Amino acid sequence: MGAPREETGKLAGCTVFITGASRGIGKAIALKAAKDGANIVIAAKTTQAHPKLPGTIYTAAEEIEAAGGKALPCAVDVRDEQQINNAVEKAVEQFGGIDILVNNASAISLTNTLETPMKRVDLMMNVNTRGTYLTSKACIPYLKKSKIAHILNLSPPLNLNPLWFKQHCAYTIAKYGMSMCVLGMAEEFKGEIAVNALWPKTAIHTAAMDMLGGSGIESQCRKVDIIADAAYSIFKKPKSFTGNFIIDENILREEGVKNFDVYAIKPGHPLLPDFFLDEHPDTIIKKVESRGAVPELKEEKPQPPPKPRSGAVEETFRIVKDSLTDDVVQATQAIYQFELSGEDGGTWFLDLKSKGGNVGYGEPSHQADVVMSMSTDDFVKMFSGKLKPTMAFMSGKLKIKGNMALAIKLEKLMNQMNARL
Catalytic residues: 171
CA proximity to 391, closest of 270, 300, 279? 270
Beta bridge partners of 273: 202
Which residues lie below 8 Å from residue 360, measured CB to CB, with a gap of 6+? Answer: 317, 348, 349
Instruction: Tell me the C-alpha distance between 227 and 246, whole Å.
Output: 11
Backbone angles phi, psi at 396, to 5 degrees: 85, 5
Nearest 5 degrees, angle CA 180-CA 183-CA 187? 145
| Residue 59 CB partners (closer than 8 Å, separation 6+) | 22, 49
Cα separation values, 413 from 329, 332, 334, 355, Å: 10, 9, 12, 17
Please tell me the chain's helix, strand, coil percentages from 3-state DSSP, rounded to the nearest 5.
45, 15, 40
CA distance 289 to 292: 5
Long-range contacts of 110-117 (CB under 8 A, 24+ apart): 110/167, 110/168, 110/171, 110/212, 110/393, 110/394, 111/168, 111/170, 111/171, 112/166, 112/167, 112/168, 112/169, 112/399, 113/169, 113/170, 115/401, 116/168, 116/170
Q: What is the length of the chain?
A: 421
Residue 194 C-beta-side C-alpha neighbours within 13 Å:
25
